[in-house]
Homo-oligomer: A and B are copies of this chain.
Amino acid sequence: MNAFDFLTPPRRGKPRKNGITMVLDKGMGIKTARDLMEISSDYVDFIKFGWGTLPLHRRDAVMEKIEMYRSFDVEAYPGGTLFEIAYLNDKIQEYFDEARSLGFETLEISNGTVEIETDEKCELIEKAVNEGFQIISEVGKKDPVRDRLLSPEDRVELVRADLKAGACMVLMEARESGHNIGIYDENGNVKEEEFNHLLNELPQDRIIWEAPQKNQQVYFILKIGPDVNLGNIPPEEITALETIRRGLRGDTLGKVNL
Protein backbone atom coordinates (compact mmCIF):
# COMPACT_ATOMS: atom_id res chain seq x y z
CA MET A 1 0.00 0.00 0.00
CA ASN A 2 1.28 3.46 -0.88
CA ALA A 3 1.75 6.29 1.56
CA PHE A 4 -1.22 8.68 1.40
CA ASP A 5 -2.86 6.11 -0.88
CA PHE A 6 -6.15 8.03 -0.76
CA LEU A 7 -4.29 10.68 -2.78
CA THR A 8 -2.71 8.27 -5.27
CA PRO A 9 -4.33 8.79 -8.67
CA PRO A 10 -4.77 5.50 -10.55
CA ARG A 11 -2.76 4.51 -13.58
CA ARG A 12 -2.46 1.21 -15.41
CA GLY A 13 0.20 -1.05 -13.91
CA LYS A 14 2.81 -3.12 -15.74
CA PRO A 15 2.83 -4.69 -18.22
CA ARG A 16 1.21 -1.81 -20.10
CA LYS A 17 0.90 -0.83 -23.74
CA ASN A 18 0.61 2.89 -23.10
CA GLY A 19 2.19 5.37 -20.76
CA ILE A 20 5.51 3.64 -21.12
CA THR A 21 8.62 5.11 -19.50
CA MET A 22 12.06 4.30 -20.87
CA VAL A 23 15.00 5.26 -18.67
CA LEU A 24 18.60 5.86 -19.78
CA ASP A 25 21.30 3.96 -17.87
CA LYS A 26 24.66 5.40 -18.87
CA GLY A 27 26.75 3.32 -16.49
CA MET A 28 25.13 3.23 -13.06
CA GLY A 29 26.59 1.01 -10.37
CA ILE A 30 24.51 -2.15 -9.98
CA LYS A 31 23.66 -1.72 -6.30
CA THR A 32 22.70 1.90 -6.89
CA ALA A 33 20.47 0.86 -9.78
CA ARG A 34 18.85 -1.89 -7.70
CA ASP A 35 18.26 0.57 -4.85
CA LEU A 36 16.48 2.89 -7.26
CA MET A 37 14.38 0.06 -8.66
CA GLU A 38 13.35 -0.95 -5.15
CA ILE A 39 11.61 2.37 -4.65
CA SER A 40 10.42 3.19 -8.17
CA SER A 41 10.47 0.20 -10.54
CA ASP A 42 6.68 0.37 -10.91
CA TYR A 43 7.21 3.46 -13.04
CA VAL A 44 9.79 2.04 -15.45
CA ASP A 45 9.04 -0.21 -18.40
CA PHE A 46 12.33 -0.13 -20.29
CA ILE A 47 15.94 0.67 -19.43
CA LYS A 48 18.27 1.51 -22.29
CA PHE A 49 22.00 0.95 -21.81
CA GLY A 50 22.96 4.16 -23.59
CA TRP A 51 24.73 4.14 -27.00
CA GLY A 52 27.95 2.07 -26.90
CA THR A 53 28.41 1.76 -23.15
CA LEU A 54 28.03 -2.03 -23.01
CA PRO A 55 31.39 -3.02 -24.57
CA LEU A 56 33.05 -1.16 -21.66
CA HIS A 57 31.42 -3.31 -18.99
CA ARG A 58 32.20 -6.88 -18.00
CA ARG A 59 29.89 -9.62 -19.25
CA ASP A 60 29.10 -10.84 -15.75
CA ALA A 61 28.19 -7.32 -14.60
CA VAL A 62 25.93 -6.79 -17.62
CA MET A 63 24.22 -10.14 -17.13
CA GLU A 64 23.66 -9.39 -13.46
CA LYS A 65 22.20 -6.00 -14.32
CA ILE A 66 19.83 -7.36 -16.97
CA GLU A 67 18.66 -10.04 -14.54
CA MET A 68 18.27 -7.51 -11.73
CA TYR A 69 16.16 -5.20 -13.88
CA ARG A 70 14.06 -8.14 -15.10
CA SER A 71 13.35 -9.16 -11.49
CA PHE A 72 11.60 -5.77 -11.22
CA ASP A 73 9.75 -6.35 -14.52
CA VAL A 74 11.92 -3.82 -16.26
CA GLU A 75 13.16 -4.77 -19.71
CA ALA A 76 16.75 -3.71 -20.41
CA TYR A 77 18.11 -3.36 -23.93
CA PRO A 78 21.25 -2.06 -25.67
CA GLY A 79 21.36 1.38 -27.28
CA GLY A 80 20.92 1.63 -31.05
CA THR A 81 24.40 3.06 -31.61
CA LEU A 82 25.88 -0.26 -30.53
CA PHE A 83 23.87 -1.99 -33.22
CA GLU A 84 25.13 0.54 -35.76
CA ILE A 85 28.72 -0.17 -34.72
CA ALA A 86 28.10 -3.89 -35.22
CA TYR A 87 26.68 -3.12 -38.66
CA LEU A 88 29.71 -1.01 -39.52
CA ASN A 89 31.97 -3.87 -38.47
CA ASP A 90 29.96 -6.43 -40.37
CA LYS A 91 29.17 -8.29 -37.15
CA ILE A 92 25.38 -8.37 -37.21
CA GLN A 93 25.06 -12.10 -36.53
CA GLU A 94 27.65 -11.93 -33.75
CA TYR A 95 25.67 -9.03 -32.34
CA PHE A 96 22.44 -11.00 -32.21
CA ASP A 97 24.20 -14.03 -30.72
CA GLU A 98 25.98 -12.08 -28.02
CA ALA A 99 22.83 -10.12 -27.14
CA ARG A 100 20.92 -13.37 -26.74
CA SER A 101 23.71 -14.92 -24.75
CA LEU A 102 23.77 -11.97 -22.34
CA GLY A 103 20.04 -12.30 -21.79
CA PHE A 104 18.62 -9.50 -23.92
CA GLU A 105 15.20 -10.08 -25.48
CA THR A 106 14.71 -6.58 -26.87
CA LEU A 107 17.02 -4.71 -29.24
CA GLU A 108 17.07 -1.24 -30.74
CA ILE A 109 17.70 -0.76 -34.44
CA SER A 110 18.61 2.73 -35.55
CA ASN A 111 20.58 4.58 -38.18
CA GLY A 112 21.25 7.78 -36.25
CA THR A 113 24.98 7.90 -36.92
CA VAL A 114 25.95 5.18 -39.41
CA GLU A 115 24.53 5.42 -42.93
CA ILE A 116 22.01 2.59 -43.35
CA GLU A 117 19.42 3.06 -46.10
CA THR A 118 15.76 2.71 -45.16
CA ASP A 119 15.31 -0.50 -47.11
CA GLU A 120 18.27 -2.12 -45.46
CA LYS A 121 17.21 -0.90 -42.02
CA CYS A 122 13.83 -2.54 -42.61
CA GLU A 123 15.48 -5.78 -43.65
CA LEU A 124 17.58 -5.67 -40.49
CA ILE A 125 14.47 -5.15 -38.39
CA GLU A 126 12.85 -8.15 -40.07
CA LYS A 127 15.96 -10.23 -39.57
CA ALA A 128 16.12 -9.30 -35.88
CA VAL A 129 12.47 -10.18 -35.42
CA ASN A 130 13.12 -13.54 -37.07
CA GLU A 131 15.96 -14.06 -34.61
CA GLY A 132 13.33 -13.82 -31.89
CA PHE A 133 13.95 -10.30 -30.63
CA GLN A 134 11.39 -7.63 -29.84
CA ILE A 135 12.50 -4.58 -31.78
CA ILE A 136 12.32 -0.92 -30.86
CA SER A 137 13.51 1.19 -33.77
CA GLU A 138 14.61 4.79 -33.78
CA VAL A 139 14.02 7.58 -36.27
CA GLY A 140 16.28 10.65 -36.42
CA LYS A 141 19.93 11.60 -36.84
CA LYS A 142 22.31 12.40 -33.98
CA ASP A 143 24.08 15.10 -35.98
CA PRO A 144 21.83 18.21 -35.87
CA VAL A 145 22.88 19.25 -39.38
CA ARG A 146 21.85 15.92 -40.87
CA ASP A 147 18.79 15.68 -38.63
CA ARG A 148 17.43 19.00 -39.90
CA LEU A 149 17.28 17.53 -43.40
CA LEU A 150 14.44 15.28 -42.26
CA SER A 151 11.06 16.92 -42.79
CA PRO A 152 8.09 15.93 -40.62
CA GLU A 153 6.76 14.09 -43.69
CA ASP A 154 10.04 12.15 -43.93
CA ARG A 155 9.81 11.17 -40.29
CA VAL A 156 6.26 9.93 -40.68
CA GLU A 157 7.29 7.78 -43.62
CA LEU A 158 10.31 6.38 -41.80
CA VAL A 159 8.25 5.50 -38.73
CA ARG A 160 5.68 3.73 -40.88
CA ALA A 161 8.35 1.75 -42.67
CA ASP A 162 9.89 0.59 -39.38
CA LEU A 163 6.52 -0.44 -37.98
CA LYS A 164 5.67 -2.30 -41.15
CA ALA A 165 8.99 -4.11 -40.97
CA GLY A 166 8.10 -5.40 -37.53
CA ALA A 167 9.25 -2.85 -34.95
CA CYS A 168 6.92 -2.93 -31.95
CA MET A 169 7.61 0.70 -31.16
CA VAL A 170 9.53 3.60 -32.67
CA LEU A 171 11.65 6.06 -30.73
CA MET A 172 11.75 9.69 -31.84
CA GLU A 173 15.42 10.64 -31.44
CA ALA A 174 16.36 13.44 -29.01
CA ARG A 175 19.67 12.17 -27.60
CA GLU A 176 20.58 12.50 -23.93
CA SER A 177 20.43 16.29 -24.08
CA GLY A 178 17.08 16.91 -25.79
CA HIS A 179 17.95 20.10 -27.60
CA ASN A 180 18.58 21.11 -31.20
CA ILE A 181 17.30 17.80 -32.55
CA GLY A 182 14.08 16.32 -33.90
CA ILE A 183 11.11 18.36 -32.77
CA TYR A 184 13.18 20.34 -30.23
CA ASP A 185 14.75 23.71 -30.88
CA GLU A 186 18.07 24.90 -29.49
CA ASN A 187 16.55 25.56 -26.08
CA GLY A 188 14.81 22.20 -25.90
CA ASN A 189 11.37 23.66 -26.60
CA VAL A 190 8.98 21.75 -28.84
CA LYS A 191 8.57 23.06 -32.40
CA GLU A 192 4.78 23.00 -32.39
CA GLU A 193 4.07 22.83 -36.09
CA GLU A 194 6.40 19.93 -36.73
CA PHE A 195 5.15 18.14 -33.66
CA ASN A 196 1.52 18.57 -34.61
CA HIS A 197 2.15 16.91 -37.94
CA LEU A 198 3.70 13.90 -36.24
CA LEU A 199 0.93 13.84 -33.69
CA ASN A 200 -1.75 13.73 -36.34
CA GLU A 201 -0.11 11.22 -38.63
CA LEU A 202 1.36 8.69 -36.23
CA PRO A 203 -0.22 6.07 -33.95
CA GLN A 204 0.74 7.43 -30.53
CA ASP A 205 0.67 4.04 -28.84
CA ARG A 206 3.57 2.94 -31.07
CA ILE A 207 5.73 6.05 -30.58
CA ILE A 208 8.13 6.73 -27.70
CA TRP A 209 9.09 10.39 -27.50
CA GLU A 210 12.58 10.93 -26.17
CA ALA A 211 12.00 13.71 -23.64
CA PRO A 212 14.93 14.05 -21.24
CA GLN A 213 13.97 17.51 -19.98
CA LYS A 214 11.20 18.25 -17.53
CA ASN A 215 9.58 20.96 -19.68
CA GLN A 216 9.36 18.43 -22.53
CA GLN A 217 7.74 15.81 -20.31
CA VAL A 218 5.19 18.36 -19.08
CA TYR A 219 4.47 19.43 -22.65
CA PHE A 220 3.75 15.90 -23.89
CA ILE A 221 1.64 14.98 -20.89
CA LEU A 222 -0.49 18.11 -21.19
CA LYS A 223 -0.79 17.72 -24.96
CA ILE A 224 -1.20 13.95 -25.41
CA GLY A 225 -2.13 12.85 -21.92
CA PRO A 226 -0.62 10.92 -19.01
CA ASP A 227 -0.36 7.76 -21.10
CA VAL A 228 2.09 9.19 -23.62
CA ASN A 229 5.20 7.04 -24.05
CA LEU A 230 8.37 8.85 -22.99
CA GLY A 231 12.03 7.90 -23.25
CA ASN A 232 15.59 8.88 -22.31
CA ILE A 233 14.41 9.76 -18.81
CA PRO A 234 17.35 10.31 -16.43
CA PRO A 235 17.27 7.72 -13.60
CA GLU A 236 16.95 10.35 -10.88
CA GLU A 237 13.76 11.64 -12.56
CA ILE A 238 11.76 8.39 -12.49
CA THR A 239 9.47 9.30 -9.61
CA ALA A 240 9.32 12.95 -10.70
CA LEU A 241 8.06 11.98 -14.16
CA GLU A 242 5.39 9.75 -12.66
CA THR A 243 4.15 12.64 -10.49
CA ILE A 244 3.82 14.74 -13.65
CA ARG A 245 1.84 11.96 -15.35
CA ARG A 246 -0.53 11.72 -12.39
CA GLY A 247 -1.07 15.39 -11.65
CA LEU A 248 0.94 15.20 -8.43
CA ARG A 249 3.16 18.12 -9.36
CA GLY A 250 2.22 21.78 -9.78
CA ASP A 251 2.78 21.68 -13.54
CA THR A 252 -0.03 19.22 -14.22
CA LEU A 253 -2.11 19.34 -11.02
CA GLY A 254 -5.75 19.40 -12.06
CA LYS A 255 -4.81 19.29 -15.74
CA VAL A 256 -4.56 15.57 -16.51
CA ASN A 257 -7.34 13.05 -17.07
CA LEU A 258 -6.53 9.69 -15.55
* Chain A residues at the B interface, C-beta cutoff of 8 Å: 1-9, 26-32, 34-40, 42-43, 50-59, 61-62, 78, 81-82, 84-86, 88-89, 91, 94-95, 98-99, 102, 112-114, 142-143, 175, 177, 214, 236-240, 242-243, 246, 248-251, 253-254
CA distance A88 to B6 in the complex (A): 12
Contacts of A95 in B (CB 8 A): 4, 7
Residues A249 and B81 in contact, CB atoms below 8 Å apart: yes
Contacts of A254 in B (CB 8 A): 88, 113-114
Across the interface, A250 reaches (CB within 8 A) one of B112, B248, B251, namely B112
Residues B39 and A2 in contact, CB atoms below 8 Å apart: no
By beta carbon, the residue of chain B nearest A91 is: B6
Q: List 21 A-B contacts (CB under 8 A).
A: A2-B58, A3-B54, A3-B59, A7-B52, A7-B85, A7-B89, A7-B91, A8-B56, A9-B55, A26-B240, A27-B40, A29-B37, A31-B31, A32-B32, A52-B253, A56-B242, A84-B253, A85-B253, A112-B250, A114-B254, A143-B250
Residues B4 and A239 in contact, CB atoms below 8 Å apart: no
Residues B81 and A248 in contact, CB atoms below 8 Å apart: yes
Residues B6 and A248 in contact, CB atoms below 8 Å apart: no
Which of A3, A32, A86 has the most chain B CB atoms inside 10 A of its CB?
A3
Residues A35 and B39 in contact, CB atoms below 8 Å apart: no
Residues A3 and B88 in contact, CB atoms below 8 Å apart: no
By beta carbon, the residue of chain B nearest A141 is: B250
Contacts of A26 in B (CB 8 A): 236-237, 239-240
